[in-house]
Every structure is written in structure tokens, then in C-alpha cells.
Structure 1
Amino acid sequence: MDQLAGGLRMSYQALYRVWRPQRFDEIVGQSIITQTLKNAILTKQISHAYLFTGPRGTGKTSAAKIFAKAVNCHYLKDGEPCNECETCRAINEGSLSDVIEIDAASNNGVEEIRDIRDKVKYAPTKADYKVYIIDEVHMLSTGAFNALLKTLEEPPANVIFILATTEPHKIPATIISRTQKFDFKRIRPQDILERMAYILKQKHIDYDDKALKLIAKAAEGGMRDALSILDQAMSYGDDQVTYENALLVTGSVTNELLTTYVEQVIQKDTKSALITIQKILDDGKDASRFVEDLTSYCQDILLYQQDPQIVEQMELGVVDDKFKQLTSQISDDQIYQMINELNDISNSLRFTAHPDVYLQVLTVKITHLDQTAASPAVSSEKVAQTERVEDEKIDRLTNKINDLQREIAELKKTGVTAAMGEPAEPATPKPAAKAANAHIELTKIYPILGSATRKSLNEFQQVWPDLMNTLSVTQRAVMHVSKPVAASPDGIIVAFEYPIFYQKAQADRELCDALENNLDRLVGKSPTIVFVPSNQWPTIRRDYLANHKAELKSGSTESESASDDQPTDKPGPAPDAPKPIVAKAAELFGKDILDIKND
């Protein structure tokens, strides 16, 4: 009996294995890719190599196996394999020797790839095409990639390579250029929900609609993850999927509890918020999961304030009256500050054995946040007023610099050195360099301004929304108040509306890397990205123009913008004369990074 019970237990297969797609139209959320592959098979335009990229559980390996069946099936139906002929059944069972699936994580050496290169020359034994499916191909060593490259350069006519990876940036460009690349996207929660509901109906299992919505959201775009969570919920609930079971399996916190907690934070009710946190911990919820749920909840509030329909689609309709009321009570500045604190706590939780302490500290912090700008209109007015004041300062300073130039020129005429008079030590420009507490990288900004064009700025502005969509939730929250203000082919200057987010972005190396890497994917190049505060941008721009004009008048430098300067009939300094503006700029600002602080 024990052996029989053991056999029954071993015969159970996970949902994601039983319900693995066997046809292109069963792959969820990738209709463009599947239609393209079907058309290629129907029109006999089959490439020798394909690269499938995308997050885990989005259908890459399933699509590769279905494609292997379709190219070898003699009974195609609209580009779909029949799954009934001998070849299809053999591929489904994994017994066809002409379809070879390789895990690059454990077979990543040169010898394994050389073995493929030696065998690839032999014709298929039973099928029309020999298909090599190399999963997690980014794990191959450099030598293995070089060996694979030689095979991809001159492949036999009856061989197809399908490379699959979750990290395409680790694959050499020489490999990518020899393949047809397909990017598998994260699957929408609505599509995951429909697929799970279909599976449960086929298995005649009762389920709570709210439970499936919670699982679909927790899966984060991966169908395999969703089915694994669903499997756990079914096991826990004895073949019944309830909302309570889904909460326990995912470790998530209910929307009602999140709403209560955020309400207490807004009302600065620290005591009640601490009691809520203790209740969450007592219920066995994971602290890191709570921080993720709260970050997502803050994102939903921010997006709902901009476009309610987006949140209702993302949250699968789980938007109640309390949530709607909450969005009208909290300002976007409070949300930004909360997300910053959540991001800091999230990093700390990974290295602590006392998560309760961090959550309590977090609660005290966010219940004492300053409402620096409750009204966006007031904030914008203050920024505009600051810019006007700075513009007036710049105008006065520019006039004084021009006067000093004329005085120095007159002194040169009369043979008097500039060292004996007051013009040698004008201290007035210094206040202009004390407008914000920030490190402004002038050595990176000036080269970009020197070759900046409207065409480059337009190019980056067009892809900016797509670039924002590639970032994580916390990264998007930081970049939400930024925009590109100048660009050259090799660099972008990005201005931040609030100094706090400028400083946050400046210190976040991971954010900078993400921006540059994703720009490389979007526009095919990786320009230098420099951040500036919005209230300092007019000052930086005018200083640059003023210095540029001074250099033109002295004849010391060449500039592309010389044609924009006004002509003058006054004689310039002698060829061996010092460059007073350049020298003064070096004296005031230094040659590297400008450190500007308020008095």
C-alpha cells in the first residue's frame, strides 16, 4: 500500500507542466510573435537562427518547442502543428533525436558547443529539420560563444537554432546580429486571470474571483509563476481556491489593510499605524512582501490621480470607494517621499534578522513626513518665481562682466595693468553660484551643450515615455518629475523639478545604468546622461552662453555657435592678453565639479 501511495504521489504533475501550450494559439499574451512565426512557416521563410528573449515564464521555451513541431509537421493547420502525427507525438514526449534541447546553465563550456558543431553537419534522421533549442544561452562562456558563432555564420540548410534567454544584454552583439530576435513581453494580469479561470473550469474546481486576481497580480507577468502559486493555493485549500488561501500562499496583505495603514499615515496617527504593522507581522506576513505591496499601492494612487482607467485595468477592477477617497487626500509629494523611504527600507530588509524593527522605524518616519508642497500649483509658482529671480541675477552679472571687459581693454590701451584696479577682484558673481544644495557636473554638461541640437533633443523626447516604462516602480517614481532639456548625439541633460529627486537620482548608480542600457536598446546608442535641478538649469545655460561669447570676443576658442553672437566694432584684446572671463570662471567654478550651496 505504501508503494502504491508513493506511486500515486509521484504521478502528480504541476499545473504549468500539464497545461504547457502545445499550439501557438495557446501561448498567452504573445500574439504578435506567434502570428509572425506561423506566417514564416506558412510562407517557407524560415530563418536558420532565432533568439527568444523576455522575463521568466512568458512562453519562450514553449514557443521554441511548438516551432520545432511546426517546421517538421506534414499536417499543418494554418501554421499550427497537428499534435497527432508521429513526429509531433515524439517531440511532445521528448523522444525525437532531431530536436535537441540544451540547458546552457549546466552545459556552458567550449567542448559542449564544439560537440554541437561537429554533429550539426549530419542530416536529420527522421525529421525534416534538426532543431537545437539552447535555453539560458547567456550562461555560455566566451569561448563557447565564439564556437557557436562559427556555426551560426555558415549553418547547414536543414538546421535551426533557437536561443532563449532572460538576459539578452549578456549575449555578444555578433551572435544577436545573426539571429531573428523576438522579445517576449510580460503577460498582462487580465490574460493570466483568464487562463487560470479556463484551467480551473476544465478541472471543475471552485474558485474565488478575488483570489485569482490576487494571484495574477503576484505573478508579475509570468504565466508559469501564476500556475505555480495557483497549484499551492489548490493544495492548501484541498482543491478549492479561496481569497484567504491566496493571501497566505502569496504572503500578500489585503487591500483593506493597506488602505487603513495609508490613511493612518496621512493622518499622522503613528500609534494606530504601529498597531497595524504589528498585526501584519503577527499574521505571519513577510516584511519584504509588505514593503513591495505598499510600494505598488503608492504607485496605484499616483497613477489613479493621473488616469483612473489605467489603475482599474492594472488592478483588475479592485478599486473601492475608500481607495478613491484616499487618492484625493494625499499629495504627489507625499507619495514621492513615501516611495523613497520604502526603497531605502527594502534594501535594508535584505540584510537584517529583525524586520519588525525596520517596519516600525519606517512607520514613524512616514507618519512624520513634511508636506513641502501640498499644492502642485503653488509649487510650480515658486519654481517660476525662483527662475525669474535667477534670470535677473544673471542679467546683472553679465552686464558687470561686460563692463569689466571694457575697462580692461581701456587699461591695456593706456599701458596700465589690470592688477592695480578694482576690476581684478569682482566678487559679485559668487551669489549666482549659491542657489541650490547640489553637485552640478559642469565638466559633463558643457561638452553636451557645445554640440547640442534640436534634432537630438526631439529624438530623445520621443522615446522618453518608452524609456520610463522600462524602469522599475521606484525608479519611475524618481524620474516622474524629470524631463530632457538639451541633448547632443552623445549626451542628454535631464532636469528635475524637485531638488530632492535630483539628489536621489544623482546618487543612484543603478538608475543611471538602467537609463543608459535601455536607451541603447531603444535608439541603438548609449549617450551620457547628466542630471540638473530645474531651478538651476537657466543659470547653467546662461553662464555657458556668456562664457562662450567672451571666448569668441577674445579669439581664444572656436565655437559652432559663433554665428549667433552679435557683431562688435570694438577692438579685442591683444593675442597674448589673458582671458579674463575664462580665468574668472576657473577661479569661481573650478575645472571639475561645481559645488553650489545656499548661504
Structure 2
Amino acid sequence: MHQHHVSFFGVLLVSYRALYRVWRPQTFSDLIGQEHVTQTLKNALSEGHFSHAYLFSGPRGTGKTSAAKIMAKAVNCLRGPAPEPCNDCEACSKITDASLMDVVEIDAASNRGVDEIRDLRDKVKYAPTEVRYKVYIVDEVHMLTAEAFNALLKTLEEPPEHVIFILATTEPHKLPSTIISRCQRFSFRRIAKNHMLARLHVICDAQGIEADDSALAAVVQAADGGMRDALSLLDQVLAFSKDRIDESAVLAVTGSVSRQVLGDLLESVVKRDAATALDRIGELLEEGLEAERLVQDLIHLCRDLLVMLAAPELEEVKNRMSMDERWTRLSEAGSVESFHSVLDTLIRTQQQMKWAAHPRILLEMAVVQLCQGDPSSASSEEVSSGEQPDLLRLKKRVQQLEERLAKWSGAAAPASAPSPQVSPPSPQERPSPPSAEPAPSPSLDRFLRQASAECLQRVRQQWPEVLSRVKEQKITVHAWLINGEPVAATENSVLVAFKNSIHRETTEKEANKSIIQQVMSRIFGSSQQLVTVMSSDWDRYKASSEISATTDDAFESRSESEEKADPVQRAVDWFGEEMIEVTD
């Protein structure tokens, strides 16, 4: 099926065709793992609503070029257009053999210039000679130059009725948006491991190859979602071990290590046995294994153990891990958090190895760190206790707080009325530690003792001028200060109450507060300090304290004087003579 006999100088030579060429999908049903693409294309073909331009993007070996050729056969099949090509008619056979002139496959990596695209654009206008549609398959289209893309734009948007473009690329982000918008885009995904494994079993059975499940699983693991990579590796392993494939042959070809050896190494790490772990690493590296490959294999094993622990009912876990009791024991020896920590350390080590001159040292450092225990991970005692590490850390935190509180053994329960928080006018007046009896805030207490009605009245009379001067200095500070109201005053300080905490906090900023205090000092003729408080706190504190008549007298004297004073004089007192214009 996959051999050709060629006579050369009388000697019979046998040419071998690679498995990925022999087993290239010939129908949409053969294209595994891309059902979201194949079903859409089949529906469009069955209804005759296919587009003039398609863009197939995705990782290598996922079926982009194969899907393009199947599409070319489906639209040109003599029994179609049909959802699936018959692969028996002359058109399908010629397209499969790449001998049909009307289906043109272009390698954009080699034909990336504007001249090649102009030549293509000139030939597009000619009708097909053998089939219904001329199909242009442009592989690795992201390699085209900017000029070539520009030359393709108009043709791609409005090609003749008989032309279909199929663009394929592994790097769609490099394509201009003007190209992408003119195509129907289909994103091909990495093929799932179970789909690849089933396909490899079919191929091995058809080829008469004896293969262990573990060997094919190792092939799938190394292929990383690409079917072509898997078949190429299978070809290589067949050349190494002829018609019998086992896991050791696959590991020898790929340069990996068996999972049993990895299990021994990881078990030493879990047991915090650094000497055994380092000794085993030395043996593996001396056997020719690369440190980068060993880290990668450890990452894959830890990932599988983490998935097994977090989601034991997954089909992937049941197929690959649950058959061996060793993996169950190893996963149960740790926790989700501990395996997460191990994975985090190994991944960081793998990234650092790309730039390290001595990757072995990084690997050994990572193993020693894991054996000594990462501070962010749960310790073996915590894991064995059966409690979650987060809960244990929370318990330790609570215990530390309780020990701190024990030092304040004489402290009493907090007062029923909360003490308002005000900004201290000086560093010497900060609140003292809790005592046996709650004391009022020193700042407010000072205002209650020293404030006078005369000082408050003077401040309120000159407050509009303060606002005006602050506005001249900085209008944004005025916008915040205008929302405050002076509620008490002494000879060298003013208490301003705010209803909104944002206004108060902004006023309290050092730069803003400095401007306000400078203005007050100039207007009041003496050094002044600004103290702020929330209105709700001030009202609550007044209600819960036996306040002298200083502040209340200020309110009363203000109201009485305002009633007796001439309205014009009151306006002058409030806003200043320059701001008032009296008219009859």
C-alpha cells in the first residue's frame, strides 16, 4: 500500500512512503478532532452555499492542508458538489495525485513576492479546463510580503465565479485584517490525546504493527496535539525497533525517561529525600538525558497527578493513571496545593533553563528547594492531618492575634459610642493605647476645653474671605473646602466638619492643607492649624458629651446678632465690601 518498486540499473529498489503521507485524510470523516470545521463545511457543501475564500488557521499537523484538498475534491467531484468526495471519479483521483491543473497548491514561503501574486491574479480570470472550480490553495500564507498581500486584496474580495481561494497558515496574527475580513475563517485545534490514540491504534492494526498502549501514549504525549508529528515519530520508532513497539523504544527515540523512573524521582521529592533525588538525577544525566527534557517530563507527570487528585472521574485519568496503584498512592501522598507548588517551581525552572549556561545546576536547585519544602506549600504534617492548608494558616494567624491581645489584658470592651477620628493638629496629641476606661478623642476634648464662642464667630465671619483667598491660590482646593463648615475654633486652630469623607480626605492632603493654613494665618493674623472631622462624628460626640455652652453660645450669639444686624452689613461681613453692590 505504501511501497513503490523502482528499477534502477537492474537493481530492484524499494521506496518507502512516510506514514503521514500514506494516511493523509481523504474525506472529512477521516479528519479527526476537527468536527467543528468539518461539519460546517459539509453542511455548506450539501446546501451549495460555500464561499469564494476560506482561511484555515491552527497548529501544525492538525489537518489544514488536508481539509483544503478535501474541499477541492468535494466541490469538483463528478458526483457532486457533495458533503464528501467519492475519491473514485477522475476528478477526485487527479486531485489526490496532484495532477489536476485546475487545483493549484502554492507554497507562499517560496512564492512570497508581488510578482508571483500578480501572475496568479492574471491567471485567475481564465476558466477551469477540466472541472467546475479553479481552487487555489495557498499554504503558509502569512509569509507573503506586504506588497503581495496588497496585490491579492481585490482578487480575493471579488474573484471570478469559478474560483475558490483556500488560505492556510499557522500564524494568523501576521495576516492583515483586510485579508482576514475577506475570508471565512476556520480555526483548527490541537487534536485531543484520546482521538490521536484511537487513530494510532487503527493505523497500527492496518499496518500490522504490534504496539503497546503505553508506547502509543508516549508517542501521543511527544506529538503535542499534532497528528503529523505523531505519525513521523511512529515512523522513526519503527525504524528503531522494526515491527514491535514498546515504551522503551519510544523513550529512546524521543530522549525521554520512563514514568516508572520519574515516579521514583518524584517519590523521593515527596518524602523530602534530597540525597536520593539528586543521586537519581545524576544517573539520568550521565546516561545522556538532557536536563530540560527531564524537567519537561516531570511537569507532565505532576500535571497528571494533580488532575488525578482534583478530578479522579475524568476519562483521561481513568485510562492512563488509575490502572496503576502507584500513581494513586503518590497522588494521595500530596495535595492539590502541594502539587501546584511543585508545578510552579518546575515551570519557573524550565523557563530559566532557556538562558542558563548550566541547566543541570538549576534542576538540582529546584529539587533541593522542593525537598526542603516551599513556604507557600503545605508541609507534610499539614497534609497528613487531613486539614486544608488555608484553614491551618488561618488558625495560626488567629492564634498569633490572640497572643497579641493577651498582652492587653487590662483592656476593657470598646465604648458604645464610637469616638470620631479626626486628624491631630500636632504629633503630640495622637491617641494613646487603650486603657481601662475609654477616653474621648484628645483633639475634640481640647476643642471642648479651649474653644470659645467669640473665636468661632470671628472665624465664621471671615470664612467667606478664607474661601475666596484659597480659590485664588488653587481653585481645586477651594472646590473641596467649600463643602466643609467651621464648627469650633480656638485662638490658633479651626475645626471644620465635612459631610463627605472624600472631601475631608482631599482637604487633609499635605499640599492642600498647607495652602488653607497659610491663608487662615494671614487673614486671622496669627498662626492657624486646620483640624477636620466628619459631621456625623461631631454630632454624635456632642450628643454623647456634656458640652459647655461655648459652641452652643456661638450658634445662639450668631443667630441673635444676625437678627439684629443690618442685612447689608451682614452681607458685607460675610462676602467682603468689594463683592457687594447696594442698589435701591
User: Which residue type is aligned with residue 13 of structure 2?
Assistant: L
String of CA shifts for 1:140-193, please: whole Å, max 9, x gaps: 222222222221222211111111111222222222221111111111111111
Aligned partner of 1:57 among 57, 61, 76: 61
Normalised by the length of structure 1, the TM-score is: 0.64
Are residues 1:8 and 2:13 paired? Answer: yes
User: Which residue type is aligned with residue 168 of structure 2?
Assistant: A
Structure 1 residues 106 and 77: CA distance shift in structure 2, 3 A: closer
Are residues 1:286 and 2:290 paired? Answer: yes
Structure 1 residues 127 and 304: CA distance shift in structure 2, 3 A: same
- Post-superposition shift, 1:44? 0.5
Structure 1 residues 372 and 88: CA distance shift in structure 2, 3 A: closer
Are residues 1:580 and 2:540 paired? Answer: no
Contact (CA 8 Å) 1:551, 1:579: kept in 2 or not?
no
Structure 1 residues 216 and 351: CA distance shift in structure 2, 3 A: same
The equivalent residue for 2:421 is: 400
1:412 and 1:383 map into 2 onto residues whose CA distance is: 54
- Between 1 and 2, higher relative CO (CA 8 Å, sep ≥ 6) is seen in 1
> In terms of mean alpha carbon deviation, does 355-364 or 130-139 score higher?
355-364
String of CA shifts for 1:448-480, please: whole Å, max 9, x gaps: xxxxxxxxxxxxxxxxxxxxxxxxxxxxxxxxx
User: Which residue type is aligned with residue 61 of structure 2?
Assistant: G
Secondary structure of the 1:162 match is: strand
- Post-superposition shift, 1:415? 6.0
Contact (CA 8 Å) 1:57, 1:223: kept in 2 or not?
yes
Contact (CA 8 Å) 1:28, 1:191: kept in 2 or not?
yes
Normalised by the length of structure 2, the TM-score is: 0.66
Contact (CA 8 Å) 1:304, 1:311: kept in 2 or not?
no
Structure 1 residues 555 and 198: CA distance shift in structure 2, 3 A: farther
User: Superposition RMSD on alpha carbons, in Å?
Assistant: 3.9
Gaps of 5+ in 1: 390-396, 417-549, 557-568, 588-599
2:395 and 2:67 map into 1 onto residues whose CA distance is: 55
The equivalent residue for 1:221 is: 225
2:231 and 2:205 map into 1 onto residues whose CA distance is: 14
1:333 and 1:176 map into 2 onto residues whose CA distance is: 43
Secondary structure of the 2:374 match is: coil
2:86 and 2:482 map into 1 onto residues whose CA distance is: 78
Contact (CA 8 Å) 2:248, 2:258: kept in 1 or not?
no
Aligned partner of 1:66 among 70, 91, 106: 70
Are residues 1:378 and 2:378 paired? Answer: no
Equivalences for 1:80-479 in 2 at 5 Å? 80-310=84-314, 312-313=316-317, 316-317=320-321, 320-352=324-356, 354-374=358-378, 375-378=388-391, 381=394, 400=421, 413=460
The equivalent residue for 2:50 is: 46
Secondary structure of the 1:164 match is: strand
Contact (CA 8 Å) 2:341, 2:376: kept in 1 or not?
no
1:247 and 1:585 map into 2 onto residues whose CA distance is: 71
Secondary structure of the 1:308 match is: coil
Secondary structure of the 2:189 match is: coil
Structure 1 residues 241 and 117: CA distance shift in structure 2, 3 A: same
The equivalent residue for 2:538 is: none
Contact (CA 8 Å) 1:333, 1:371: kept in 2 or not?
no
Secondary structure of the 2:313 match is: helix
- Post-superposition shift, 1:586? 12
User: Which residue type is aligned with residue 92 of structure 1?
Assistant: T
Contact (CA 8 Å) 1:554, 1:572: kept in 2 or not?
no
1:413 and 1:67 map into 2 onto residues whose CA distance is: 87
Contact (CA 8 Å) 1:210, 1:243: kept in 2 or not?
yes
- Post-superposition shift, 1:413? 4.0
The equivalent residue for 2:474 is: none
Q: Which has the larger radius of gyration?
A: 2
1:585 and 1:20 map into 2 onto residues whose CA distance is: 75
String of CA shifts for 1:382-403, please: whole Å, max 9, x gaps: 69979x99xxxxxxx9963689
- Post-superposition shift, 1:571? 7.1
Contact (CA 8 Å) 1:49, 1:162: kept in 2 or not?
yes
- Post-superposition shift, 1:372? 3.8
Structure 1 residues 21 and 6: CA distance shift in structure 2, 3 A: farther
Matched residue count: 432
Equivalences for 1:477-496 in 2 at 5 Å? none
Gaps of 5+ in 2: 1-5, 379-387, 403-417, 426-442, 448-454, 464-476, 484-495, 515-584
- Post-superposition shift, 1:14? 0.6
Secondary structure of the 2:99 match is: coil
- Post-superposition shift, 1:350? 3.0
Secondary structure of the 2:56 match is: strand
The equivalent residue for 2:522 is: none
1:256 and 1:203 map into 2 onto residues whose CA distance is: 29
Identity of aligned residues (%): 44
Structure 1 residues 128 and 285: CA distance shift in structure 2, 3 A: same
User: Which residue type is aligned with residue 349 of structure 1?
Assistant: M
Contact (CA 8 Å) 2:192, 2:225: kept in 1 or not?
yes
